[in-house]
Amino acid sequence: MADPLSITASAIGVITAAFQSCQALNGLVSSWANAPKTLKDLRGDLSALQNLIQSLQREVATSDDLSAEQRTCILELVPAIESCRDACEGFSARVSRATSHSKDDQVAFLDRARLYLGEKDIQTFKSRLGDCKQTLNVALGVVTLNTMSKTREQINEMETQTVMTLSSLTGKLQGIELALQAFQSTEVAIGSNDVTQVLQVLNDHDRMLRQCLKVCTSGLGETAKTTGTTVKYAETLDQARQFIGNIGDVGNGGPETNVEHGQAKNESRQVIGNIDASFARDYLC
């Protein structure tokens, strides 16, 4: 893995650029008093995304004791947040072109018509913002595991939320892949420029979702260290020796090992829980 300092510096640079792009777009959307409702509604999403990016930037900059899994999560986050930045910049450019006749804080009549015609584009962008927010929430939770006092219940809740995000993103990814297949095999006469534009939008969203999925997967790896492991059934036979738990000094609040049903038969022995390293060596050898 790359040097921790270079990982942090690289991530902070990308996060800062994403914040600036989001802030600029929010300012552009907020500058028109008579913008269509669908465009105005983006302000709440953009403000929420700005706050998330800012919080993540602060945590990454001040966290110097991150685990390997946390740093992996940050590495996976960089391409995802770059996609978020690119989405904001691309949408900002499209809105600027669509409002080329507008002045001051008023959207011109012709430009309003353009924006109404582009409402599907606005909704698509809103969906991408939602994916970005879900992913950043996961990343922020992972990065703050060391810096914030979280109860096991809160960590379990965070893990559950990560799984739900993973499931949501996977479903969207499958939908986009089906759309790509259907669109590429369609026999309907569509202009080549339109085909290129639609495929680009779908492929961009597909790529971003894959990057978001990597962040969620890394996040689950980190939370699992704290939430521990649950074993449904464990059984030993004859003279076997079995240990289920954590070896070494895990300290207070270490990961739990839950065994719903454990059974040792005949002359076998079974230990469940945390165990000293030297005792574990003598026990198992």
Q: Are residues 272 and 248 in the same domain?
A: yes
**What Å distances lie between residue 143 and 112, 159, 173, 183, CA to CA?**
42, 13, 25, 39
Last-in-domain residue among 227, 242, 261:
227
- Residue 119 CA to residue 137 CA, distance in Å, equals 27
Give 265's contacts (C-beta < 8 A, 6+ positions apart). 235, 236, 237, 238
Q: Are residues 267 and 196 in the same domain?
A: no
Environment class of residue 128 by beta-carbon count within 10 Å: exposed (0-12), middle (13-18) or buried (19+)?
Answer: buried
Last-in-domain residue among 181, 201, 227:
227
Give 224's contacts (C-beta < 8 A, 6+ positions apart). 159, 255
Q: Give CA 250 to chain center in angstroms.
A: 28
Q: Are residues 163 and 260 in the same domain?
A: no
Q: Are residues 28 and 134 in the same domain?
A: yes
Q: Are residues 272 and 135 in the same domain?
A: no
Q: Are residues 88 and 65 in the same domain?
A: yes
**Residue 216 CB: number of other CB atoms within 10 A?**
27
What is the domain range of residue 276? 231-284
**Residue 11 CB: number of other CB atoms within 10 A?**
22
Q: Are residues 168 and 269 in the same domain?
A: no
Show pLDDT as tens, one digit a residue, over the chain (285 residues): 556 667 778 888 899 999 999 999 998 888 877 777 888 888 899 999 999 999 988 888 877 777 777 777 788 888 888 888 998 998 888 888 777 666 666 666 555 656 655 677 788 888 888 888 888 888 887 777 755 555 566 666 766 777 677 667 676 676 666 666 665 655 444 555 555 666 666 667 677 777 766 776 666 666 555 555 666 667 776 666 666 666 555 555 555 666 767 777 777 777 776 666 666 656 555
Q: Are residues 202 and 243 in the same domain?
A: no
Q: Are residues 196 and 268 in the same domain?
A: no
> What is the count of structural domains for the chain?
2
Per-residue tokens: 54: 């800012």
Environment class of residue 87 by beta-carbon count within 10 Å: exposed (0-12), middle (13-18) or buried (19+)?
Answer: buried
Helix segments in 99-191, DSSP class H: 109-117, 119-143, 152-185
> Residue 229 forms beta bridges with which residues?
257
Q: Are residues 272 and 213 in the same domain?
A: no
* Helix, strand counts (H, E) of the chain: 9, 6
> What SS3 state is found at 75?
helix
**Residue 4 CB: number of other CB atoms within 10 A?**
14
Query: Between β-strands 262-264 and 257-259, what pairing exists: parallel, antiparallel or unpaired?
Result: unpaired
- Residue 268 CA to residue 278 CA, distance in Å, equals 20
Q: Are residues 272 and 169 in the same domain?
A: no
Amino acid at position 135, single letter = T
Amino acid at position 186, single letter = T
Q: Are residues 69 and 100 in the same domain?
A: yes
Amino acid at position 150, single letter = K
Last-in-domain residue among 207, 227, 247:
227
